[in-house]
Structure 1
């Protein structure tokens, strides 16, 4: 695997991280808004399901972030500088 492959992987991971962070944020706001406005959600158990999805989204976001940092950590210094310059 050469540095262009690693650069592509890093870019893909960054894109996935942004996508999942955005989805988690939207889901969390949506869940909070729905629970505040709708009392039936409290009695049907849907509040728990919405909270779980928000939690799963946040965990996925953190995992992608950690994986991206791990890939960057193991790159040689010269390639890390190139990647940071391209961002």
Structure 2
């Protein structure tokens, strides 16, 4: 079962994480909760345990969002938003 979050209703374009990913230019990098996100030829997500490539910002966002939710636990929407906020801090 897939988790639902507030951005499913408001639109992911309002999520700060999606905005950061969508604003990346070639060579740009940011880090969220020890996960490196960069744009070279493709969007990349890299951590100690994985290195994934994505063709577009939306796919990258969905994967990163799921990772952050898993790392933050599955205690509902509040926990999800707290995890995302902490990741960008």
- Do both share a fold (TM > 0.5)? no
Higher strand fraction: Structure 1 or Structure 2? 2
TM-score by structure 1 length? Answer: 0.27
Larger relative contact order (C-alpha < 8 A, sep ≥ 6)? Answer: 1
TM-score by structure 2 length? Answer: 0.27
Higher helix fraction: Structure 1 or Structure 2? 1
